[in-house]
Structure 1
Amino acid sequence: MLRFAIVGGGSRGWHLASLLRGFPDVELAAVCDSDPGALARWCSLGVELFRDFEELLRWGDFDAAVVSTPWAHHARQSIKLLEEGKHVLCEVPACLTLEECWALLDAAKSSGAVYMMGENYCFMREQLAVLRMAEEDVFGDLTYAECGYIHDVRSLLLRPDGGLTWRGEEARRRRGVIYPTHSIGPVAKWMGIGERDEFVELAAMSTRPASIAQYVREVFGGDHPAAREEYWRCGDSAVALISTRRGALVVLRVDIASPRPHNLAYYHLQGTRGAYLSGRWGEEGLVWIRGVSPGDSLHMSPEPARWEPISKYYDRYEHPLWRSAWRPGIEAHHGGGDYVMLKAFISAAREGREPFINVHDAVTWSAIIPLSGKSIAEGRSVEFPRFR
């Protein structure tokens, strides 16, 4: 029996706990949240409830923890759990500073427990199929990728009384690509970052926070301090260019404020033999593979190249993680990614092996936050640390 504690009892913790309870030989043992209101709905589940994280650690009658607190707590709480020998599944991002990255890396190496960052976008069906295709060299040598997280979350930055939420505090104090892992995670897995290749340099730029300030003026009036663009360090859009040691290039965009429909997945992968384009607004993803897909991409080809739906290749390239997933779990949030993510973590924790997203992945992807801020502030490209 694997006993879980949920650290952070809000909506995300509640959702993941509801999925955990469907796994065999898994037990929900405890929930910790500093807000008594957040703890209230857990009372009927018959689990231990804690308002103090240190008290939860002293109690200690659990094997693994899901960390779903605000970002600023992720690294500290994960490190303390690892020091107590607890397996950790931490929500994204894993860290906010380079100092936290190094500290988390050291803690995970020193602990006998399993650490995994819960980047659920890596576990969606389409992203897993592309991963298998990339691993089997279907696209050839990978040379270029685009990825983006474009989601208008301005309404999550301020409370109804006009005060900042924890997300608002992060947007006020941080400049750069402040939420990169949904975008960069799948791309990094496809490119084999940390195995066959590594990130070496990053250059970032950002727009001004025009849409964020406009939202505040519309909802709270022009006299609200946050109605001024100077109040915010986070721009509407931030873009990072990342180069790899093997000569590939990644373009990463994060936009949490521009008014437009939410696009769950935005990816483009290019190799020497083909390419992948994610679907937009409910459309299906597309692939073109030279010598396999119809036509040819060369100029003046007698038969022009034509995209194919990626679902055509699911039977051949379905990833084992997805193929083995429990059918009802596919209806979980984020295209089934939440369920498959939990299954992967539980399996790694039980077997004591390295998880699908290891601590090196976690700190490398999360380091984009401070590195992009540094690049923008100094007006130059910056080098990636070698987290080894």
Structure 2
Amino acid sequence: MQRRDFIKGTSFGFGALLAGVTGTGCTSVKEAEEAVSKAVEKGKNRKQNFNMCGYAAPAIPTVRIGYVGIGSRGSWAVTRMMNVKDVEITALCDLREKAVKDNQKTLERFNRRPAKEYFGDDYSWKKLCEQEDIDLVYIATPWKWHTPIAIYAMECGKHVAVEVPAAGTLEECWQLVETSERTKRHCMQLENCCYDFFEILTVNMVQKGLFGEVIHGEGAYIHELLSGMFGEPQWPTWRWDENHKSGNPYPTHGLGPVCWAMNINRGDKMEYMTSMSTNDFLMEAKAKELAAQNDYYKPMAEMKYRGNMNTSTVRTAKGKTIMIQHDVSTPHPYDRLHVLTGTKGSCRKFPEPGKIAFGDNFVSEEKMRELEEQYTPEMVKHIADVAKVIGGHGGMDFIMDWRMIDCLRNGLPLDMDVYDAATWCSITPLSYWSVANRSNSIDVPDFTCGSWQKNKPVDLTLRGGGNTGVVEQPK
């Protein structure tokens, strides 16, 4: 059946689903049909305004940063950045005054100048974006604010670094693309897993031809979070808001490195996808258990929850496949999969340590050490020892931050562009649609508008950079 006829024939309540899929707040089947079709067809009909893939903005010798959202994750980001030379934190913004004051103390501890403060208002971030002495706005707020702040920051002439997910709807994905192209400002999604040591090693090995042609990839976010998913009465978690839309709300950790390895948007593109979820066997039961102990949880106990395990599959224009999974509620060891299957070799990261094979057996530990020494990208070798000391998910967070600043300082293209952000994030609303439509397939928008055919693979060399220093942490 054609998608148009299929949507007309469906008979479930769209409501919140449609808002989640399109960002339009549709309340009828006809509106949903038009909104989804518009988002998907746009990539076929739209002419690209400017190609941000490979774009090198003018160099910024000292990168001035404004942080929006400096709770736990944002505070970690501020602390990490204190270890990078030629960076100045010029603004701090959070809804809570205490968060801003605490991060001012971090600047003081590193002998940095105080930053301008913004707090106490849901829209204080607008004033930060308008501040003149800012080159980069670093966004680590709850998800619903990611796209609005990123767009406003680019409109104000700032580059953007935004935590995952950069967008939650297809409409937001296109808004990011169009704004980045029009303003010629970078919009980098802070997908730290692309910089984890095994992932970036295997991406480089793929580019050197050791795996042959990669024909299949797998990524996931499987992380048992059920016990803390609902937060506490005095401090509810915003992540809970995402747990009643059935699909994959958080695909990018596993998907990003696979897309780099398979040259998505850079020689190949996602063609269409399908998604399927289990029922919920755990989350509603947990909510009811909590509600029996505290009335605060009673509304949560009355909600219907998305399935525990979601599996989405993508077929590319070149006939390759990608599988992405999401599960944060079952008792399961942490797993991002990172499986690459090529015509000459393959790899699998989990369970750790990661393993590589060029036949029907994984290579020996000694051979793994040789491969790591020979094929770890020069960019990673350049900063790895420092990154492991400073940390951030084992060091990958610092590598990501350092690399971004080094590229901005030297006027080099960033590793991740706005098309990566839009494509990887589009899996979420598309998975909602597919799950709700009995796992029917749906096209993935081409956010590059055809330029994927000429865009070059991500370049993991130093590219003439590497001159961004680090400072020692204070005692």
Q: TM-score, normalised by structure 2?
A: 0.74
Query: Are residue 385 (structure 1) and residue 424 (structure 2) matched?
Result: no
Q: TM-score, normalised by structure 1?
A: 0.90
> Which AA in structure 2 matches 1:312?
E
Partner of 1:257: 329
1:181 Cα deviation from its structure 2 partner: 0.3
Query: Are residue 308 (structure 1) and residue 336 (structure 2) matched?
Result: no
Partner of 1:143: 215
Partner of 2:377: 319
Query: Are residue 39 (structure 1) and residue 39 (structure 2) matched?
Result: no
Counterpart selection for 2:291 from 220, 245, 258: 220
* Structure 1 residue matching 2:89: 3-state secondary structure: strand
Question: Higher relative contact order by CA 8 Å / sep ≥ 6: 1 or 2?
Answer: 2
Q: 1:220 to 1:311 in 2, by over 3 A?
A: farther
Partner of 2:259: 188
- Verify the 8 A CA contact 2:118 2:125 in the aligned structure 1: yes
Query: Are residue 343 (structure 1) and residue 402 (structure 2) matched?
Result: yes
Alignment of structure 1 residues 33-72 onto 2, 5 Å = 33-44=94-105, 45=107, 46-51=114-119, 52-72=124-144
Deviations along 1:161-209, one digit per CA (max 9) or x if unpaired, are 288532111223x221100000100100000101121111110011122
Alpha-carbon separation, structure 1, partners of 2:307 and 2:235: 19
Deviations along 1:125-158, one digit per CA (max 9) or x if unpaired, are 1111100111112111111122211112234432
Alpha-carbon separation, structure 1, partners of 2:284 and 2:155: 42
Partner of 1:161: 233
* Structure 2 residue matching 1:324: 3-state secondary structure: helix
1:326 Cα deviation from its structure 2 partner: 5.5
Q: 1:220 to 1:39 in 2, by over 3 A?
A: farther
Partner of 1:178: 249
- Verify the 8 A CA contact 2:355 2:362 in the aligned structure 1: no
> Which AA in structure 1 matches 2:115?
V
Query: Are residue 329 (structure 1) and residue 387 (structure 2) matched?
Result: yes
- Verify the 8 A CA contact 2:130 2:156 in the aligned structure 1: no
Partner of 1:365: 424
1:314 Cα deviation from its structure 2 partner: 0.9
Cα RMSD (Å): 1.9
1:233 Cα deviation from its structure 2 partner: 4.0
- The total of aligned residue pairs comes to 369
Runs of 5+ in structure 2 lacking a partner? 1-61, 108-113, 449-475
Deviations along 1:47-77, one digit per CA (max 9) or x if unpaired, are 2110211221233321111110111111111
Q: 1:115 to 1:272 in 2, by over 3 A?
A: same
Alpha-carbon separation, structure 1, partners of 2:145 and 2:334: 27
1:306 Cα deviation from its structure 2 partner: 4.3
Partner of 1:86: 158
* Structure 2 residue matching 1:243: 3-state secondary structure: strand
Deviations along 1:103-137, one digit per CA (max 9) or x if unpaired, are 10011111232221110000011111100111112
1:2 Cα deviation from its structure 2 partner: 1.4
Provide the identity percentage. Answer: 29
Query: Are residue 289 (structure 1) and residue 347 (structure 2) matched?
Result: no
> Which AA in structure 1 matches 2:225?
V
Q: 1:122 to 1:382 in 2, by over 3 A?
A: same
- Verify the 8 A CA contact 2:186 2:418 in the aligned structure 1: no
